[in-house]
Amino acid sequence: MMAVAVYILCVMTSTFCATLLLREFLRTRARLLLWSSLSFAAFAVNNALVFMDLVVLPSSDLSLFRALAALLAIGLLLYGLIWDAS
């Protein structure tokens, strides 16, 4: 029961961070905020997939999709950091 609460809180926290970063990007138009918000949105998808994999559908294996979502999130943030630094 405690694990379910932690998984849900992780999804909510990542979504909240993505929303705050996107809102600030719309206000200031700083590109790094856009890439950070997209990264946190992908982290939210990753956390949702963890919840689906371990709680909702324990008999299925979603580890490939979880890894792809994490790779996308890290790739977006890395691309934003490199693009913004140049």
Q: What is the pLDDT along the chain (86 residues), one digit of tens a residue?
A: 899 999 999 999 999 999 999 999 999 999 999 999 999 999 999 999 999 999 998 888 899 999 999 999 999 999 999 988 76
Residues 69/49, Cβ–Cβ less than 8 Å: yes
**Predicted local distance difference test score (pLDDT) of residue 42:** 98
Tokens representing 9 are: 């809180």
Q: What does each C-alpha distance from 32 to 47, 57, 59 come to in angstroms?
A: 22, 35, 39
Residues 22/34, Cβ–Cβ less than 8 Å: yes
pTM of the predicted protein model? 0.89
